[in-house]
Structure 1
């Protein structure tokens, strides 16, 4: 019997082709994932589909990344991130 390969979501596959995110950005992601998972109607900590489609998740994340971008050891294009709320 053939064992199926573990499935990875598209976001994970894309991330493997990019350089690792700096610690300051990872801190923003971890913090926002924790806060949003505790909010009524928020996304589960590891629910990337929900997180990517929710402006309520993404806007505070964007704000955090914008705040740390000057002090971060890695320059990233915060202006390239576009947010829109997706209705289910």
Structure 2
């Protein structure tokens, strides 16, 4: 049972944006690496399941989802810098 908890803790450190390997990378590199990983996982699961026709749809869907996550992050970060009430006079 302790092995399962250690595995779950390890998996959470992989996706934690403050501690994973991409935490110090620039935003463009994070986007590229995330899309590359999503592409590889789509192909891996598509080949495993045997759904060769839907691999392309899965890749396009993942790219759209990841792109919108990064766009949302950028807009929120930009608006926080642009409209920070503490800097207004």
TM over 0.5: no
Taking structure 2 as the reference length, the TM-score comes to 0.32
TM-score (norm 1): 0.32
Query: Which is bigger in relative contact order (C-alpha 8 A, separation at least 6)?
Result: 1
